[in-house]
Amino acid sequence: MYSVERGAEMENMCREDLMNLIQSTNFTVIEISMYLDTHPECPCGLSAYEEYSRMLRRAVDIYERKFGPLTIYNVENDGSWDWVQSPWPWQKGCDC
Amino acid sequence: MWTYIKMLEYPVDIKTTNAALAMAIMSQLGGPDGEKGAATRYLSQRYAMPDRRVVGVLTDIGTEELGHEEMVSTIITQLTKNLTMDEIEKSGFYQYYVDHTIGIYPQSAGGTPFSAATLQSTGDPIADLHEDLAAEQKARLTYDNILRLCKDEPDVYDAIKFLRAREMVHYQRFGESLRIMQDNLDSKNFYAFNSAFDKGSTCS
């Protein structure tokens, strides 16, 4: 299990490793959210949600700063629209 | 409102093409128990669902199914990339190729186009949730059938196994949703009325 303290380690990850971490953490958040829909009072579920959603935000922040946007809300442009510069997820040769 | 995230829910990286397998897997995009039907079913049913928790389940599972459409489409795209004309002719893929080349079109493995006639949104919470439970089992068995066809393709097998496992979890959540609905109905007769429509239901 990763902990929030792994922020420094995330900073040094290559694109592929960081994307793998984001995918697995994102999946964990999806899974916990769905569980909480039918168990909204569960303390274990709520604390797991806190931990993993915080970790996901941190990983996504680092990824977008270093490798490009994952949503249209965090596009940092340098003279051209960066959203369409990186490969789409189904394109081979894409790290994601 | 939805936001696109520029990544797959689970990695798909298929290194060898296989047109015949692509034809089979296509059913989980646009076939009778495919992901497009699942997303359409759950996201449509939400509006008549009286319980907020169950609307949450329909919203979150429906949203995940949209991500699964993208995964299945990615599997098909990678399985058909750089096919030679010889492979297209010999694999049986030519029947798809003639109309769609190697583009993605939602249809069943047998060629029937995607149709909302394969799903229901009845406006009755109990009926809809039973439909959803059945839908998850049908999708699960379709993935089981696909797994038997791709034992020698580890990259495909891995992604299909992930998708199959999600059907099991969704089934669990819909089971809990049905229980939530029933807990709010007349325990002497759960099915006496449409709890989203008839007066007298504690849910509406």
Chain-wide mean pLDDT for chain B? 95
pLDDT bracket for residue A95 (50, 70, 90) = very low
Task: Please provide the average confidence, as pLDDT, over all residues in chain A.
Answer: 91
The CA-based diameter of chain A, rounded to the nearest angstrom, is 48
Interface list for B 59-78 with A (CB within 8 A): 60-61, 64, 70, 73-74, 77-78
> Which residue in chain B is spatially nearest to A40 when comparing CA positions?
B53
Q: Report whether B71 contacts B10 (CB < 8 A).
A: yes
Question: Which value, to the nearest 10 degrees, does the dihedral of the CA atoms of residues A31, A33, A34, A40 take?
Answer: 140
Chain B residues within 8 A of A20 when measuring between CB atoms: 11
Percent of chain B with pLDDT over 90: 89
Instruction: List the single residue in A19, A22, A38 with the smallest CB-CB distance to B57.
Output: A38
ipTM: 0.92
Q: HEC states along B51-105?
A: CHHHHHHHHHHHHHHHHHHHHHHHHHHHHHCCCCHHHHHHHCCHHHHHHHCCCCC
pLDDT reported for residue B203? 57
Which one of A38, A69, A86 has the shortest CB-CB distance to B180? A38
Domain ranges across chain A = 4-71
Structure tokens at B137: 């089992």
Q: What is the pLDDT of residue B137?
A: 98
Residue in A with minimal Cα distance to B180:
A38
pLDDT tens string A31-64:
999 999 999 999 999 999 999 999 999 999 999 9
CB-closest option in A23, A39, A71 to B3 = A71
B107, β-bridge pairs? B113
Reply yes or no on whether the pLDDT at B189 is more than 80.
no
Q: B113 has which bridge partners?
A: B107
Q: Which residue of chain A is at minimal alpha-carbon distance from B62?
A: A34
Residue B174 to residue B182: CA distance in whole angstroms: 12
- pLDDT at position A94 is 45
Nearest to B71 by CA among B13, B32, B15: B13
Query: What predicted TM-score, i.e. pTM, was given to this entire model?
Result: 0.94
Grade residue B191 by pLDDT with cuts at 50, 70 and 90.
confident
Residue type, B62: G
Residue B171 has pLDDT above 80, yes or no: yes
* % of chain A exceeding 70 in pLDDT: 90
Q: Considering chain B, what percentage of its residues have pLDDT values greater than 70?
A: 98
Question: d(Cα B61, Cα B4) in Å, to the nearest integer?
Answer: 16
pLDDT at B40: 98
The two structure tokens encoding residue B37 = 């039907």
Residue by residue, DSSP assigns chain B as -----SS-SS-----S--HHHHHHHTHHHHSTTSHHHHHHHHHHHGGG---HHHHHHHHHHHHHHHHHHHHHHHHHHHHHTT--HHHHHHHSTHHHHHHHTTS---B-TTSPBP-GGG----S-HHHHHHHHHHHHHHHHHHHHHHHHH-TT-HHHHHHHHHHHHHHHHHHHHHHHHHHHHHHTS-TT-TTSS-TTTSTT-S--
Residues of chain A whose beta carbon is less than 8 angstroms from a beta carbon of chain B are 19-20, 22-23, 26-27, 30-31, 33-35, 37-40, 69-73, 83, 86, 88-90, 92, 96
- Helical packing angle, B52-80 and B125-149, nearest 10°: 20
A92 alpha-carbon distance from chain centroid = 21
